[in-house]
Each structure stands twice: as C-alpha cells, then as structure tokens.
Chain A
C-alpha cells in the first residue's frame, strides 16, 4: 500500500530535482536577443518524472532488502538456498547447451546477416572483451588495481604500426611480437610496484599509463607525435589483399578466434596452481607467504599475462583502424576497461564478456540520444552498482574437491 510518508518523500525528491536542474533545464539565455527564456514546461516534466521515478526506486530498494517476502520460506530448513537464475542456467545442461549452440551459430553468421557497420562495432566489442579478460587477471583474480592498463594496449598497437612502418613486418608476425613486448612491459611495470597495494598501486599504475601516453604524444622522432601513424595494412589472407569489406569480416573472425583462445587460456589458468595463488594473494599476502607462495613471481605473472593480452588486442586494433595516434590511448580507455571488469563481475569470465558487450554496444546504440548518451550511461552504472554490486554475473567460486573425499552435495 502506498503510505502517506512515501508520497511526502517522493514529493521532496522531486522538489530537490527541480531545484537541482533549474539552471540547466528551465533558464535559457538567448544571447542574440538579450533575453532570458523561462521554460516552465521543462520544470513540470522534471517534477513529475522524478516524482514517479522516486516511487519506482523506493519499491526496488525495498525488494532488495534482505528478508523481503522471503523470510518465511528461507527459515524452514537448512537446505541449500535456491541458486540465482544466472547460475541455475549455467548448471542446467538442457538450457545451456542449446544456448551455447545458438550463440555459436550467431557469432559465426553475424557478419553475413548484419551490415559492415555492425560488424565493425562488434569487432570493437570483441577487442574490449579481450582487454577485459586481460585486466580481469590483474584486478579480478590477483586483486592488483591497475589504472594504467591502456599503456599495454598502446604498446601492442604501436608495436605493429612502427614495426610495419620501418621493417614492413606483417600482421601475423606482429601479433606474437606484440604479445612478447606486452609481457616485457608488464614485468617492467611489475618490478617497481611489487611492494605496493591498493590505492598506492593504483596511483603508480595511473602514472605509468600517463607516461606512455605522454611519450607517444611528444617523442616525434619515435612515434610521430599527435599526428600518429597512418596506412597500417589490414591483415592479409595468405598474401592476398582483401577489400575493406571482406577484411572487416576477416578481422572479425580473427578476433573471435583470439577471444576463444583467451577464454580457454584464462579458464585453464584460473583453475591451475598459479590461478589459485592469484586468488590467495588477493585475499591475504602474509598468509600466502606463510603457505610458501612466491609473492613476487605470482604478481609478475599476473601483470605479464594481462599485458600480453592487452598488447595483442592492441595489434588487432591498429590493423582494424589502419591508423594509430595517442588519442586512442588515454586514461579514459583504462577506466572503461576497468568498468567492464567491475560491472561484469570481477573474476568471472562470462561476467567480463557480458560487461564488455553491454558497455561497448550500449553507447553505440545510444547514439540516437547523442548529448544524453553519457548521462544515460552514467545512470546505468550507478543503478547497476546499487542493485548488482557483484557485477552482472558474479564469479562462481570454484569448489576444489579431491576425488575420494566424500562430497557434501548429496543433501
């Protein structure tokens, strides 16, 4: 039932919003005619809109509160609580195998049923999936907050651009070279920050990202400064140069392949000894040392692997746009990649993929709202973090079982 104080509260919220948005929504100064326009209609819209939104908000918040409606059922026995829908789907073979087949088919036929424009956007999303999975190793698994991740992306892109410009090295040669260079840079950054954690690490990596950006911007002899490097060749298929259209499709499949390999590798690593060491390191460094985990080695491998993936994504990026300049590698990119990881669900592969698709595709399709695009995007982030603080699809923590140990799953 709607109570009186709920109405009062919604009313106050709308009054507050009217006050807040008054200067931008109501007053408009017309400099040509030297008059002030008062758009009272906007004020009414803001008022009514926020009044209703506040109701919806309150309702949702109430539902979110633990114990809402569920108390009676939960208390009965100590059976395992029902899994959330996302996990249930992952468990239920009958649902997820057909779903997997459907998604697989869609990915394969995608470039043939959608326009080149759509395919291009999808390639961007795939690049961000790879970046997200890489950063997920560093931030999600090893718990090292890296705000300069874009630097490794830039290393890969410039590696291909420069190697091609000076030595005519092809895409397929540049891909592994870029990966190795990324690993080297990852370790170079890793060494000085081995002893740092949390906020300090974040600041230092932020600085590292900016340093790379500034070098690319200003060292004209090396990187051609702000004007960048143009005419980077697209990848060739067995020496045949493809048309723009077919090479877009080709890059799309290359990215699909790279993403599949990345998912496979990350998944294997996550359940391996080093993956467990990362997770343990994230939780308690001292306990890790007491258990005989080599702190330095574990951190460096996380940095190196994350950087390798970013760098390879960078090579593809350079090949896709055929042009690189420092403007593509700003702090903003690092933040988007971090958002992908955090919003998708730290440590969860499916989460990161979902995060990348939502965060990269939504702004593209929100272009219609042009100026309100970032506003809508920001609102979405805030709402998301309130209702799903663990991300879209949070990490399903693996339970390690040794065969022969009696399983408790029987209940």
Chain B
C-alpha cells in the first residue's frame, strides 16, 4: 500500500534521513522505533508531503506521491497525527473534529463518523463544547487521533501517541489503535519510543538509528532480539 524507496531528507545541510526504505501492505499495523532524533518524525513528514525528500520515491497505492502537495496527499487517504497532538486550542472539540473532515462534503457520513469517534472515546462527547486547549494531555491525544479519523484515512500515521501520558491511558489508546485497525481495516504506521507496547500492537517493526533503518523484522522476533532488548526495551 505504501512504499518508501530510498529517500534522503535534508534540513539545510544536515541529513536527517539516509536511504530510508519502508513498505506497508494494506490492513497492517507497522511500527517504526528509534531513539530521540533518529528521524522518525521526519519520515512521517516525508510521507505527508510536509517535508518532501530530496531524493528517493514514495508510492501510495502504486501512485507516486513524492512531490505532491500535503492537501492532495490527505485527499488520497493519508492522514497524520503529528507529534505533540497539535490540536487547535481555541476551537471546541466538535470544531476540531470538523477540521479533520475539512476535505469531505458528505454531511451525513461526517455526522456518523463523529458519533463513531465519540463511541471510541466517550470522554470527548462529554467535552464536546470545551475548547481544545483546556483538555488534559490524554484527552488531547484522543482528540488528535479522532480528528485524523474524521478524514476517513486509509493509512493513518501516528507520531508517538504515548508521549507524556500515564501508563493506563497509553494502554487504552493502544487498545483503541488496535480496534481502529480491526474495525475499519485502516492501515496504521505507528512511530513510537515505547518499543515494548508498539511491538505488541504491530505485526512488523523497523528500527531506525541516526536516519538509517538498521533492522526490520516481525514484532515477535524484534521483541526477542538481544540488541533491541538492550537498546529499546530496557533489559
């Protein structure tokens, strides 16, 4: 479904991605793990078209999207939940969700989808008229994920959904990620620092170090891998 072929990304003179290749098939959950500054967010930005790569190619459903504008990419069905949630602080919860459906015109279905995300995260329904900026960290992450779902993505890019959240909330959010994938067949590209949890929900994983993919395998094998254990799982 998504095919990233040898992309290189630069910020000025600094190379952030070196020859990165990743492949995802439809309906899969894959995860990209790595230390701070490895280049994980940059990879997602390249897919979203917000920071286009200098060389290499990206294909979505066989179509090249390497140099496409971000809004075209969203309209193809790729939606990103950026790192640090980045919800609209002065818009209410409903308005935030509405922004997620910005490119859609089917009012009736939008309404249905809104009910669907309120089902996923009932707390958001209670907060629907509250300004985004007044939500707690966990609620914001739920809102950010819901907002992306409102775009009805075929491929959902999640950038560190566990960032700064209590373990209980993280667990709940990961459950829901699994649920979204199972119920709608949404393909999920999950970037995480919390390798342990990420590898449990994902089928396959990629390990990134200093802008390079150093390892890729099934989640089971990665969880058993000595190097991965030492570097990312903390034992």
Contacts and interface: CB of A to CB of B under 8 A. Distances in A.
B102 A292 contact: yes
Interface string A218-231: 00000000000000
Contacts of B99: 276, 280, 287-288, 291, 293
Q: Which 6 A-B pairs have the closest CB atoms?
A: A292-B74, A287-B86, A283-B88, A289-B70, A294-B71, A402-B111
Contacts of B86: 284, 286-287, 290
Interface stretch (B19-27, B32-40, B90-98, B214-222): B90-98
A399 interface: yes
A293 B102 contact: yes
Interface in A256-285: 273, 276-277, 279-280, 283-284
B43 interface: no
A295 B49 CA distance: 13
Interface string B95-117: 10011101100010011001100
Given A286-B50, A287-B82, A290-B81, A277 B102 contact: yes
Nearest to A277: B102
Given A286-B50, A402-B110, A405-B114, A292 B88 contact: no
Nearest to A279: B91
A397 B90 contact: yes
A142 to B, nearest CB: 14
A291 B100 contact: yes
A405 B111 contact: yes
Interface string B45-80: 000101000000000000000000111011100011
A403 B80 CA distance: 28
Nearest to B98: A400
A280 B95 CA distance: 10
A280 B132 CA distance: 12
Interface size class of A (residues with CB under 8 A): 20 to 34
B151 interface: yes
A292 B75 contact: yes
Contacts of B88: 279-280, 283-284, 287
Nearest to A276: B99
Contacts of B102: 273, 276-277, 280, 291-293
Interface string B120-148: 00000000110000000000000000011
28 contacts: A276-B98, A277-B102, A279-B88, A283-B88, A284-B87, A286-B50, A287-B86, A287-B87, A287-B88, A289-B50, A289-B70, A290-B50, A290-B70, A290-B80, A290-B82, A291-B79, A291-B103, A292-B75, A292-B102, A399-B92, A399-B129, A400-B92, A401-B94, A402-B110, A405-B111, A405-B114, A405-B115, A408-B128
A287 B140 CA distance: 13
A404 interface: yes
Given A276-B98, A283-B91, A408-B129, A291 B50 contact: no
A176 to B, nearest CB: 31
Nearest to B85: A287
A399 B95 contact: yes
Contacts of A397: 90-92
A295 B72 CA distance: 12
A290 to B, nearest CB: 5
A400 B95 contact: yes
A276 B99 CA distance: 8
Contacts of A288: 99
A404 to B, nearest CB: 6
Contacts of B115: 405
Contacts of B107: 402
B71 A292 contact: yes
A399 B128 CA distance: 10
Contacts of B87: 284, 287
A292 B103 contact: yes
B77 to A, nearest CB: 10
Given A286-B86, A408-B129, A294 B94 contact: no
Contacts of A293: 71, 99, 102
Given A283-B88, A399-B92, A400-B95, A294 B79 contact: no
A290 B48 contact: yes
Contacts of B89: 283-284
B71 A402 contact: no
Nearest to A395: B90
B163 to A, nearest CB: 15
Contacts of B91: 279-280, 283, 397
A272 to B, nearest CB: 12
Contacts of A280: 88, 91, 99, 102
B98 A289 contact: no
